[in-house]
Amino acid sequence: MISLEKFSLKIKDRQIFREIDFAIGKGEALGISGSMGSGKTSLLYCMKGIIPHLKRGKTSGKLQINGTEKNKLRKEVGIVFQDPNDQIFSKTVYDEVRFGLKNHGFSGGVLEEKVENALNQVGLWNRKDDDPFELSHGQRQKLAIASVLAMEPEIILLDEPTASLDHRTTLEVYKTLGELRESGKTIVIVEHDTDSLVSFADKFLILDHGLQKAFGDEDVFSLSEVKEAGVKIPWGLKAKQG
Amino acid sequence: MGLKGKAGLAAAFILLLAAILTPLEYAPVVFIIFLIWGAYHRVSILTALVATVFFSITLGISALILGFGIEHSILTSLRAITILLPVYVYFSYSSMQDVMETLESVGVPKDFSFMFSITIPYAHVLGRKVQFVNIAQQCRGSRSPWAVIMPLLNFVFERARMLAISIECRGWSAEEKS
């Protein structure tokens, strides 16, 4: 479903990442981890089409989603940004989720049903009339997820969705993502918390200073290149390795 | 709560005109009437005043600097608040969708009506950010206004940029016609 071949990105003569190569199928979950500034967020932006459509950047190589290369924003891909405050602007929780659906042409009973389903999935239906800025950070993150879920994208990209969340809310977010994966959605998640990531994702991509250090299943965490990239070895795997 | 749609917009516009055209010496009377009107619509008066006080104090100080006297400057500040209050109250009891649809129905282009509908409610977000930045800078021993203004400008531009990207990612297009 998502396939990259020697995919590189340059912004203003600065190489952000170089020759990224991987492929994942429908319904799989990819976890991306790596050092700070290694191009993880930029990679998500390229998958959505934000780069080069909304932000400047020169790409080379191939990036195919559903077998097609498109140089515009992809409607079948939804993205949840790192800071939920960057995407919330409506007066109520309900309006925030409704916004994307209205832009996609939904209205009436169908729209209301989709909003209700999305808010119920993240447990915010009882807060639908509240001001989003009165929600806690974790609840705002859930609202940001709901506003993307409502549009029912095939692929969901998440940029550090559990940063600054407590353990319980992190588990709730991953529970929601697990249900989405079971329903057939493809999920790509950038995450530093490898403990949570390893129990959720099927494949892992490790980046360091713009270079791909490893791609594969959880065995990648035992590679020396991954350790040198500064990626935390998940506790469960550490115990196995002895 | 409040008049919706075109009636609400018309009411806010009439009150705005009344605030502008009322002689300056009657500004305190108009101010009290508007406070009562805002309270009737259950709009938080304190929030409304915080949202309008920066602009009104700036106008008042400007009048003082220009030599208009203290009484005139205070009345100018009060008038500024009465001008801003109808706008604030209207946006407070109308949802973003109502505001957009009303503005579009009276001929305002889609881009402008959308811009208004999201900018006005953001005033209280900005107010909170000013508080946080001020506290953070004072913790570092700084009382300079530039120590607050520069991070605030950075915040405003960065937030605007990311919000624009997020809005476009959710299907908004300036080219589409409703």
Query: Looking at the predicted structure, is the pLDDT value of residue A166 above 50?
Result: yes
Q: Which of residues 51-110 of A touch B (CB under 8 A)?
A: 54-55, 73, 75, 78-79, 81, 83, 85-87, 89-92, 95, 98-100, 102-104
- CB-based contact A91 B169, cutoff 8 Å: no
Q: Shortest CB distance from B169 goes to which of A73, A90, A95?
A: A73
Closest Cα in chain B, distance from residue A141 (Å):
14
Q: Shortest CB distance from A99 goes to which of B128, B159, B170?
A: B170
> Model pTM greater than 0.90?
no
Please report the pLDDT score of residue B68 as a whole number: 83
Asked if B93 contacts B1 with a C-beta cutoff of 8 angstroms, the reply is yes
Asked if A190 contacts A38 with a C-beta cutoff of 8 angstroms, the reply is no
- CB-based contact A100 B173, cutoff 8 Å: no
Closest residue on chain B to A55 (Cα): B165
- ipTM higher than threshold 0.90: no
Q: Which of A6-15, A51-60, A229-238 has the lowest mean pLDDT?
A: A229-238
Q: What is the DSSP letter of A93?
A: H
Helix axis angle, A137-149 to A93-103, nearest 10°:
30
- CB-based contact A86 B159, cutoff 8 Å: yes
Q: Shortest CB distance from A81 goes to which of B96, B97, B162?
A: B162
- CB-based contact B124 A133, cutoff 8 Å: yes
Q: Shortest CB distance from A89 goes to which of B163, B165, B171?
A: B163
| pLDDT above 70 as % of chain A | 97
Contacting residues of A for B165, CB less than 8 Å apart: 50, 54-55
For residues A123 and B7, what is the distance between their CA atoms, to the nearest angstrom? 36
Contacting residues of B for A148, CB less than 8 Å apart: 170
> Is the pLDDT higher at A33 or at B178?
A33
Contacting residues of A for B128, CB less than 8 Å apart: 133
Sign of CA dihedral A89, A193, A190, B159: positive
A7 at interface of B, judged by CB pairs closer than 8 A: no
Contacting residues of A for B159, CB less than 8 Å apart: 85-86
For residues B155 and B131, what is the distance between their CA atoms, to the nearest angstrom? 13
Tens of pLDDT along A171-184? Answer: 888 888 888 888 88
- CB-based contact B118 A89, cutoff 8 Å: yes
Residues 6 or more apart whose CB falls under 8 angstroms from that of B58 comprise none
Closest Cα in chain B, distance from residue A6 (Å):
26
Nearest to B118 by CA among B171, B58, B159, B176: B159
Q: What is the 3-state secondary structure (H, E, C) of chain B?
A: CCCCHHHHHHHHHHHHHHHHHCCHHHHHHHHHHHHHHHHHCCCCHHHHHHHHHHHHHHHHHHHHHCCCCHHHHHHHHHHHHHHHHHHHHHHHHCCHHHHHHHHHHCCCCHHHHHHHHHHCCHHHHHHHHHHHHHHHHHHCCCCCCHHHHHHHHHHHHHHHHHHHHHHHHCCCCCCCCC
- CB-based contact B162 A98, cutoff 8 Å: no
- Per-residue pLDDT 10s for chain B (178 aa) are 455 667 777 777 777 777 777 777 777 777 777 777 767 766 666 666 666 777 777 778 888 888 888 888 888 888 887 777 777 777 766 766 677 777 778 888 878 778 777 776 677 677 778 888 888 888 887 777 778 888 888 888 888 888 888 988 888 875 544 4
The token pair that represents A60 in the structure block: 């080379």
Q: How confident is the model at residue A45 (pLDDT cuts 50, 70, 90)?
A: very high
Please report the pLDDT score of residue A87 as a whole number: 85
For residues B78 and B101, what is the distance between their CA atoms, to the nearest angstrom? 31
Q: Shortest CB distance from B170 goes to which of A55, A95, A103?
A: A103
For A102-162, give the DSSP string.
Answer: HHTT--HHHHHHHHHHHHHHHT-GGGTTS-GGGS-HHHHHHHHHHHHHTT--SEEEEESTT
Angle at B39 between CA B35 and CA B45, to 5 degrees: 65
For residues A173 and B103, what is the distance between their CA atoms, to the nearest angstrom? 38
Contacting residues of A for B167, CB less than 8 Å apart: 87, 89, 99
Number of cross-chain residue pairs from A and B with Cβ atoms under 8 Å apart: 59
Angle at A221 between CA A22 and CA A25, to 5 degrees: 30
Closest residue on chain A to B126 (Cα): A133
Among A72, A86, A130, the strongest candidate for a mutation testing the B interface, having the largest count of B CBs within 10 A, is A86
- CB-based contact A92 B173, cutoff 8 Å: no
